Structure 1
């Protein structure tokens, strides 16, 4: 059986350890494969936050495309995917997606994902949030299949390390595609 593709976009916002963990979790799941597209700013932020160069994480993806490859498969609705995850998603990228401005492959693929009504998960990163950020998120969240999932810390699962927090957020992002990460601890109630 063919694996389902998940397009993974990464932009220049903070949160690169979450990107790395998402790629690892997709690779571990035998039903999915990833197609990674990183912006120039994402590559710079990756190095700053993790000490890794983009070329060092490329092997975690099944396919790697460049942001200027606007004619690549993910730019077309006929390219079969389960959907798209943008982690982290900068407010610049969010604004581009909101306005339909397909400046690069990340924004174009997100636009295609929405028009085809596939799952689009945006791990938006900024704080504090301006009224413009909030408006863009609110309006996008009303589109079927779009999930706004800021990578917020949670404590109900009693994390002891930053890695446990990163794992939890990555699992939360990927559950929208039907990926159940091993060790993911959901809220059990009181």
Structure 2
């Protein structure tokens, strides 16, 4: 495992899309990043339904489970509870400059857009916005109504990146894992993290008529 050279905050909330979040966490750890993780109660329900992966509600137990699952140390992966207000992510003086909410429920989207800060996920996102850091939100909902779109517009105007979980098909995916990797690759691109999850457009594109 590479030495941790950058810290990123990653939150899972209660939208469908647990495979995206879990794969993103795996890739961040493989890249050598240190990751601060937060998981909402609804996200734990989704993880069981979609991944058959039960995450304990207790942050310490959850951290132990995830570290064992990915084979990393406590230095590289830490889990914080929803009311750990003394954790680094709660203050602009210590929070990482980058944060991803993947998947992002429309409820979390609304709370962040409104500056609610009722739990640590919302507060961490608010901190990243106020400190002019990088906030990426990955909603997985369809269709969007006007309120959803208004919240996305507001957050985009504040500097956040809205990246709906909408994988492409031009890379001719052969499996669900390929579709998941497409989205994770786009997130990693925006975080400026190198990866080999899929070929770049125009470089080995299987549909390129000039490709031998």
Give the TM-score normalised by structure 1.
Answer: 0.93
8 Å contact 1:156–1:187 — kept in the other structure?
Answer: no
Say whether residues 1:58 and 2:66 are aligned partners. yes
Pairing 1:60-75 to 2, within 5 Å after superposition: 60=70, 62-75=77-90
Following superposition, the deviation at residue 153 of structure 1 comes to: 2.2
Q: Describe the superposition over 1:7-41 as per-residue Cα deviations: whole angstroms up to 9, x where unpaired.
A: 001100000001110011001112x2111100000
Mean alpha-carbon deviation: is it higher for 93-102 or for 175-184? 175-184
8 Å contact 2:20–2:183 — kept in the other structure?
Answer: yes
Q: Please give the alpha-carbon distance, in whole angstroms, between the structure 2 residues aligned to 1:183 and 1:27.
A: 15
SS at match of 1:6: strand
**Bigger Rg over Cα:** 2
Mean alpha-carbon deviation: is it higher for 3-12 or for 176-185? 176-185
SS at match of 2:122: helix
Q: Describe the superposition over 1:138-181 as per-residue Cα deviations: whole angstroms up to 9, x where unpaired.
A: 1111123x100011021011111000110111111122111122
What is the RMSD computed on CA atoms of the aligned residues? 1.7
Aligned length: 188
8 Å contact 1:14–1:45 — kept in the other structure?
Answer: yes
Moved over 3 A (4+): none
Give the one of 163, 166, 169 matched to 2:183.
169
Q: Which has the higher contact order (CA 8 A, sep 6+)?
A: 1
Following superposition, the deviation at residue 4 of structure 1 comes to: 1.2
Give the TM-score normalised by structure 2.
Answer: 0.83
Structure 2 residue aligned with 1:116: 131
SS at match of 1:123: strand
Structure 1 residue aligned with 2:148: 133
Q: Summarize the Cα distance change of 1:85–1:35 in structure 2 as closer, same or farther, 3 Å threshold.
A: same
Q: Please give the alpha-carbon distance, in whole angstroms, between the structure 1 residues aligned to 2:53 and 2:95.
A: 30
Structure 2 residue aligned with 1:106: 121
Structure 2 residue aligned with 1:24: 26
Unaligned stretches of 5+ in structure 1? none
Q: Summarize the Cα distance change of 1:173–1:153 in structure 2 as closer, same or farther, 3 Å threshold.
A: same
Q: Please give the alpha-carbon distance, in whole angstroms, between the structure 2 residues aligned to 1:147 and 1:71.
A: 27
